[in-house]
Amino acid sequence: MRVTAVAILNTLLAALPCGPHCIVSPHPDDAALSMGGILMLLALSPAMPRRVLLTPFTRSIYAPGIPAESRTQEIVSVVRLQEDAAFASAVHAAYFPLDMPDASLRGYNDNTELGEVMDTDRSPGQLVSCLRAVIPSRLGVVWCPLAIGGHVDHILARNGVLSTVSADVVIIYYEDLPYAAGFDEATIGAFAQRVHENLQPLSIDIDSVWQAKLAGLRCYSSQLGKAELAAVEQAAVRRAIPPGKRAERIWIANGPIYVTLP
Ligand SMILES: [Zn+2]
């Protein structure tokens, strides 16, 4: 029997607990970049678990795709919200923005946002409080970033999830793109092992929805340029099993309290 991409994903879905899926995207665009193909496949899946796209850091002044004179916090934040909502609609997910300021508005710069969380940063506690208030109590699966590349907002989102969800919720980690495209396999594996010692990689074939993934990324025209899209395609080709197709890679713990990998 030929196993299609949807069938592979459905095999995984069958092994997961029932209940809604919460997709945590630190910023607008992270989930689309890193697991947009999987979200397109989920939208096509007969199993159709209910999905919520939860984006914590939606306030920002970062928007290279809009004119410099328009890059006020108010305008940029509204544009990014609209882009993220359009993507959520495209993948048939409910949309839940948390309206928190991103690192650029909390005193970080391009270098420090890829480092340690500053002592003066109050967002870790605020984020956990928000997540406790909004993450559904009856949840099946949370998809969250591995935080490859070490962006403080990605680390906060991942750690916020880990300290919020109950032990019976399966956590699936996605590789943060485009950051992950810049690391070799050994480094990515080391990142994953630091998050959870039993994490195993699983490539999901997204070849059949590649054009749909690109269409989803076009929702984020204020953010994404040729460099980001090239890195996403390079990563998709590298992760494909067998070679010649495109894939997204996720990491999941394999064991009795988690899930038996297909
Ligand atoms: Zn991000």
Query: At 85, which amino acid appears?
Result: A
Residue 100 has pLDDT above 80, yes or no: yes
Tokens of 111: 């270098």
Q: Give tens-digit pLDDT for 20-64.
A: 999 999 999 999 999 999 999 999 887 678 899 999 999 999 999
pLDDT of residue 253: 85
For residue 257, report the distance from its CA to the centre of ligand 1, in Å.
29
Residue 255 has pLDDT above 60, yes or no: no
Domain membership flag for residue 20: yes
pLDDT of residue 185: 93
For residue 92, report the distance from its CA to the centre of ligand 1, in Å.
21
List the domain range (segments joined by +) for residue 151: 5-253
pTM of the model: 0.92
Edge-to-edge strand list for the sheet holding 94-97: 94-97, 51-55, 21-24, 141-145, 170-174, 247-253, 199-205
Query: At 43, which amino acid appears?
Result: A
Domain membership flag for residue 172: yes
For residue 256, report the distance from its CA to the centre of ligand 1, in Å.
32
Domain membership flag for residue 245: yes
Domain membership flag for residue 259: no
Q: How many domains does the chain have?
A: 1
pLDDT of residue 2: 46
For residue 29, report the distance from its CA to the centre of ligand 1, in Å.
7
Least trusted range by pLDDT, from 76-80, 117-121, 142-146: 117-121
The predicted model gives 119-136 an average pLDDT of 89
Determine what percent of the chain is predicted with pLDDT higher than 70: 94
Q: Tell me if 100 sits within 8 A of 56, measured CB to CB.
A: yes
The total of other beta-carbon atoms located within 10 Å of residue 78's CB is: 13
Residue 96, domain CATH: 3.40.50.10320
Residue 84 has pLDDT above 90, yes or no: yes
CB-proximal residues (5 Å) to ion ligand 1: 26-27, 30
Q: Give tens-digit pLDDT for 168-181.
A: 888 999 999 999 99
The total of other beta-carbon atoms located within 10 Å of residue 7's CB is: 14
User: CA 156, CA 117: separation in Å to the nearest integer?
Assistant: 8
Domain membership flag for residue 43: yes
DSSP for 83-116?
HHHHHHHHTT-EEEE---B-GGGTT--TTGGGSP
Tokens of 11: 């095999």
Domain membership flag for residue 129: yes
Q: Is 261 exposed, middle or buried (0-12, 13-18, 19+ CB in 10 A)?
A: middle
Domain membership flag for residue 22: yes
